[in-house]
Amino acid sequence: MKLLLDATRCQGYGLCHEPAPDLIDLDEWGYATVVAQPGSGAAEAAASAAAACPNSALKWER
């Protein structure tokens, strides 16, 4: 299982951070970086972060 970010699609909306603050950091402009991969306990947070992205920049691959 892996949380993948396509940085070319990220538009800096920042909506992915709230559901998964331990997995995703935002820079000062709101652009995302995946800083950790979820353990089994954070799979739901990773899925929520991917679902929150309006630009399909985040993918949660099982």
Judged by the rule CB under 6 A, the positions of this chain that interact with ligand SF4 are 5, 10-16, 30-32, 52-53, 55, 57-58
Query: By C-beta, is 43 or 52 nearer to ligand SF4?
Result: 52
Q: Which is nearer to ligand SF4, 33 or 39 (CB)?
A: 33
Between 31 and 43, name the residue whose CB sits nearer to ligand SF4.
31
Q: How far is the CB of 7 from ligand SF4 (least distance, A)?
A: 8
**Whole-number Å distance between alpha carbons of 61 and 30:** 23
Three-state SS letters, the chain:
CEEEECCCCCCCCCCCCCCCCCCEEECCCCCEEECCCCCHHHHHHHHHHHHHCCCCCEEEEC
